Amino acid sequence: MNFWQKLSNKKKPFFVLAPMADVTDAVFRQVVIKTGKPDVFYTEFTSVDGLCSNIGRRRLIKNLRFSKNEKPIVAQFFGTKPENFYVCAKLAKKLGFDGIDINMGCPDKKVERQGAGAKLILNPKLAREIIEATKRGAGALPVSVKTRIGFNEVITVKWIKEIIKAKPDAVIVHGRTRKELSLVPADWREIGKAAKIVKKAGIIAIGNGDVYSLDDGKNKAKKYGLDGIMIGRGIFQNPWIFNPKINLKDVEPNVRIKLAIYHIKLFKRFWKDTRNYDNLKKFYKIYISGWPACASRPSAKSLRTKLMNTSNIAEALSILTSA
């Protein structure tokens, strides 16, 4: 029994933090552990082609670093070469990951130009070959697939039936097509259709899209027959989203400011000069929001504006520590 199955037997639904490029790195995962840990973490997606080259591996291997307190954690890979997925699956096993996920949903144009990510929806034969090669390399580690309900049009039933021919251990379905990006609401009826097919094959079914609270996730899981719920953008609205004991409205500004400072210092220590400081700016709205000005503190909006105009970590820390 793999960890997905054990988790499903123990808790239904379980909750997963979605993999997001330049967001769910080892630093942010530690922040989330402080606010409220999900049942499963994912790494950012990493190129199998890059990991299979000497220069690329030296640059990308840090993306696969994690701490014991993040487990269970899944390594997510993207690419088009089955042989490279095989190699990277063996690497993930060696590094101690709990599972491996294949990205078949990313809409990034650079990824799609390779035929990877969501583009694999148009190439089911290659998609199956990639799953099979990954499983061979993974050994006992479970292999999952994160995908969408179609590329230019909704083809949920047809596409999911193709995926499960390769017998992945879990399937995560985002309820939009590649063409829709995030411009329309997630279609949970289509996710429900996928779940029926997946579960009939004895595979773990996970839904993803527009979930902004644990209660909403629980309701959707029950309604659409899902084992788990994956939350992505919801973490930007509420960094305590996985913590049932904390109401965001009750979190004081000083707590949010301290969390931002913790993130920035950890970012500096972990990445040093290998990631651009501007990458941090996407996080400021997570922490610095939701309070008006008062006699002792500026409003969240004015403080956030100051932070967005900074050019380095020292400037940001100076502003936050004096707020």
- Does residue 247 lie within any of the structural domains? no
Domain shared by 135 and 65, yes or no: yes
Q: Tell me which residue of 219, 130, 220 sits closest to 175, measured CA to CA.
A: 220
Least-confidence region, from 104-108, 151-155, 297-301 = 297-301
Q: How confident is the model at residue 290 (pLDDT cuts 50, 70, 90)?
A: confident
For 281-295, what is the mean pLDDT? 89
Report the alpha-carbon distance of residue 192 to residue 227 in Å, rounded: 11
- Does residue 160 lie within any of the structural domains? yes
Residues spanned by the domain of 162: 3-237
What per-residue confidence (pLDDT) applies to 323? 82
What per-residue confidence (pLDDT) applies to 292? 84
What per-residue confidence (pLDDT) applies to 298? 84
CB atoms < 10 A from the CB of 282, how many?
12
Q: Which residue has the tokens 């990824």?
A: 111
- Count helices and strands (H / E) in the chain: 15, 9
Least-confidence region, from 39-53, 72-86, 234-248, 286-300 = 286-300
Residue 295 has pLDDT above 70, yes or no: no
pLDDT tens for residues 14-66? 999 999 999 999 999 999 999 999 999 999 999 999 999 989 999 999 999 99
pLDDT tens for residues 66-97? 999 999 999 999 999 999 999 999 999 999 99
For 242-253, what is the mean pLDDT? 94
Provide the domain count of the chain. 2
Residue 312 has pLDDT above 90, yes or no: yes
Domain boundary among 237, 267, 290: 237
Q: How confident is the model at residue 294 (pLDDT cuts 50, 70, 90)?
A: confident
Domain shared by 128 and 76, yes or no: yes
Domain boundary among 211, 237, 263: 237
- Does residue 244 lie within any of the structural domains? no
Domain shared by 98 and 189, yes or no: yes
CA 165 to chain centre: 25
3-class SS at 41? strand
Catalytic residue among 52, 88, 106, 294, which?
A: 106
Domain shared by 96 and 204, yes or no: yes
Do 61 and 88 meet the contact criterion of CB atoms below 8 Å apart?
A: no
Residue 226 has pLDDT above 80, yes or no: yes
Whether residue 106 lies in the annotated active site: yes
For 272-285, what is the mean pLDDT? 94
Domain boundary among 212, 237, 262: 237
Domain shared by 154 and 205, yes or no: yes
Domain shared by 186 and 147, yes or no: yes
Strands (E), 24-129: 41-42, 46-47, 73-78, 99-104
**What is the CATH number for 35?**
3.20.20.70
Residue 234 has pLDDT above 90, yes or no: yes
- DSSP 8-state class, residue 187: -
pLDDT tens for residues 140-189? 999 999 999 999 999 999 999 999 999 999 999 999 999 999 889 999 99
What per-residue confidence (pLDDT) applies to 174? 98
